[in-house]
Structure 1
Amino acid sequence: MFAKPFRVKSNTVIKGSDRRKLKADVSAAFPSLSADELSELVPNKEELNVVKIYAHKGDAVTLYVLHKNPLFFELEKQLYPTVYVLWRYPALLPTFRTWPPVLQKLIGGADLMLPGLVVPSNGLPDVKRGDCCAVTVVNNGAPVAVGTAAVSSAEMRSSGLKGRGVCVLHTYMDNLWAFGEKSGPPSVPDAGGEGQGVNGEECTAEDDEEEEEEEEGELKCVAEEQNPGETDQVCSGTQELSLTEQQEGKGEKGNEEKEENQDDQKKPQEIMDALLVQCFLHALKSKVKKSELPLLTSTFLRIHMFSCCPSGKQLDIKKSSYKKLSKFLQSMQQQHNLVRVKELTKGVESIVEVDWKNRELRFFKAPEETDEEAAPTQHGGEEETLYRPPEITTQYSVSARLEPLFLEANKRKGTILQPVEVRSIVTEYVKNNDLVDGNNKNYVTINPTLCDCLLEKSEYQEVESLKWDDLFSRTMGRMQECCQVVFPGQKPIIKKGHIEPIDISVASRGSNKKVTIIKNLEVYQLDPAVVATALQHRVQASSVLQPNPGAKDKVLVLIQGNQIHQVGSLLLDHYQIPRRYIQGLDKALKGGKKK
């Protein structure tokens, strides 16, 4: 549910009456909590916030936040604890165990399937369908996921542990976890001890590697071979898997067939992780110069890493285990000492140092073929650029109200259609149902379906027919408008509503000094730092980057004076952004020439 970012609707301090109600609801939902434990979770005097959010699928969720950590979330009047609560009270919920590699799938939004369970010697916990339950990984009793039982314990056993086991709602490292202090799970003794895999045989974490060889396709916790002769170490589900270590492990001498099988069984997330590391090392070795440092991390990604992506492949950090560029760079800094990242401007990170003598970097060999046009490449100043503007087309999503009209074409709620497709489907519906007016073919007779879909209540008894143009305009007016954005060399992106235009405005900064503010450059994959440098060269005025309030991972470009005319010229002529996607050009000084 929280695998993708959510939208915060409101954040308020809880009222006294609501605090008492919450305490009663927590006590009823989790009767094992003592009075003292209840008072710790819902204190009488400490500030407790109620945050109302919309998940990415539109679900309305209420969060209860204490000391900046979400403790509970309420969905459809059902209360669920977060991992922050379960780390304090690990025995609060019935718990299912799984193998550490499964955790990455759960974080990505997958449910826990029964074949992935590790059955303890005392059997499965006793749950009914819909009961709230937790998930732990082998070797640590700290829960890493919260969900509901898809079936009862009896049904799990009768099915032979096949099918869906737990419908996962929230996990460690998802966006709800990131809403808090982002702490890691504590080390809790694994109460399950020895367990059974899906084949019913007893197993321990040390036996996992041997069992994997015996049973192909079973998901086990594979021990990584750090160096020949050293003791195997069991992988932890609470730490990120180092890709370079995986590559080194594959490079060791061993059975060639086994290596091929491992490559075939690679998950898409692992493949993206490997591609991310490859592009990172390639960019450092062949693209970045010492004189460029400090270098904005966003610039490093867009200009250098994207250009190192091999032809036929697409770099997408969201499909990796890191999810965010900041987390990936943090891993490269802490685990590999390749770079040092620092926040030089509040909210804006830069690479300030590169360890050019690092062994991984020195021995890295770049692939021979690279696709230089894998992503937009920009240069500061007036030189020629490879940047090409995106193609933006308006599309329409079928709404719930209009679904009956589109069912004959097998288009259900949420289907994205081009305007020409909408007209075609509506025309076919009219013809198939013989609704063209016999006396005047410019009109369409209104049947019950069209009446419910397109007419207002006041028109039900009055309007019997509509002109074709009116029919089409009413249909599109009741659909959710979307826009498809296609950047060269990348997959199309569908956004609800209108695309945000690049906004240019002028503000006063004391003693009647003016400053031009530019925002939303990132929407069009324009790097703010590059645009700021180009403007500096054009107008010979200082510029600065600032975080955009309320817009995460976006920055503002501020440049001295009223420079709207020059900004417009740069965006229209140099970057070829269509005028309709630039807002504020009318505020340019009257003496300036309009393009």
Structure 2
Amino acid sequence: MFKKPFAVKKNTNQRNSDSRKLFNRLKEEIDAESNIDKKGQVAQVKLTNFDGNQMNVYTIDKVPQLFEFSESGNIYPTVFYMWNNPKAFPVLVCHYPVLSYLENGADLMLPGVIRSETFQLPTFRKGVPVAIAFHCTETGTVCGPSAIGCSLMSSDEMVACGFKGKGVQVLHVFRDELWSFGPKGFPPSYSVASWNTYGEETDESDEDEEEFEEKQDREESVGVPPKPTVNEIEEEIIPEEPMENLLTRCFLAGLKYRFTRNMLPMDVGQFYTQCVLACVPDGRKLDMKKTHFKKFATFLEEINDLGDEWIIKIVPSKQKKGADVVGDVNFSNKLFRDFEVSDECTVDKAPEDKSKFEAPVISEYFAITEPTLRLFPKFSKGDLMSAKEIREMVTSYVNENKLAAGKSVRLDPILCSITRIKSDTAPWADLMKAIHGRMTATWHIRWADGRELVRKISPPLVEFKIENRAGNKKVTLINGLAMFGIDIRTICHQIQTGVATSVTSQWEVAGVEGPQVLVQGNQIHFVVDLLIKSYGIDKKFMKGTELAVKKKK
């Protein structure tokens, strides 16, 4: 359903009444409360997929959570919703290799579903949303859920047919276009024991909460005043700081400690995210809607009136129509000079366990294709073989058919059709290169936490790019770090302290998988050394290293 790109026709924020209707509808669907931020901004995205079908996707704080084909039909969860609510909908557990078939557009065939006492079959009707998780036998973990679909038969019908045939029509799967529309990321992993016991404690707490609410209702009905909770007592003792004060403190802290003049001109939205929000104290949340400004642009207009002189100038962007940029900053402003830090976060903190990084194991294989099947009769199409295994099999074939001719090989009709070499003989190196070229290059990635990924055609790469910004200033763009399991916050802190320069990261960049890191100046030499020495990443998995500044002899 979302394997091919879709077109967004409309993206509008929902009113509170519409959001409540959506949450009530979801509660009726799953008959339980969801682990979902109901105070977040809910938006309805109307889109048309590649086949011309229209549907609605509901996002919360720009993260896709639910989707539907009509307002009267089923409401389906996304993988992002299921990662926070793994058992909100019925979940079928399958063998891990099944995921690759679903990613290629196949529906779920019932023989791939695990049926055992460990993974019991949930009860569900025909035509209802069903989630699919995957069990990796090598690591003993359950990953996901990573696919969403509609049941083509009930659970009783699946048992009656002996788990044969097509069981679930897959609508949405990990790494499809709907996943790319959100913050991306990887599915969580659980041990088998924690997967089977997941949600039991939550159910008990929900029952206690319902009993507490019923007790409150009974007390209110007989006129007993409700007892103040612990949070209410704390609120009476410690008054909460006005949101306007928190906004002003974070603005001045970001301007003083996170902003430099060489960043000019800087997009206003980028300034708000990277400078203001980054200074919010731990445990606090800055909500612009709870201020009387309502919009950050209004705050910027009024902040200049607080002192005798202006502090920040906002001008229209010359590159992007309708956007504003920070044009200039008055660092001599009295409000700026008199500001002193209290609990604002002026420097990003790196996680304590940054030295415990374990690089993923990346193994290179070749997948057997239709033309090469005749060379490997004991294998099937799509099976993975290493270069060593291929050479052993080809050597055995050459010896059995007496095709060896010194350092060359005589080509029989089978080898001629596979390699497409026109001569009668070929050197061993040319023969193996031709056979590899007729197979599909594949890379198997396994992370330290047990997650596995099979990637075809192109290997995982850390890609470096150099771009010129305003004033002919060079910046280094780094893509692909998330594929290697590298924590973005940690490596940004390491680069920032290592070369004493500004480092930022941003997620929603077109054509980039995962977050993109932006470093002021050409810092490729330092980052390459950091990846090799601290993270154990082989240089063959790096692209664009030739763009580094040439070292003087």
Task: Please give the TM-score of this superposition, normalised by the length of structure 1.
Answer: 0.43
TM-score w.r.t. structure 2 length? 0.46
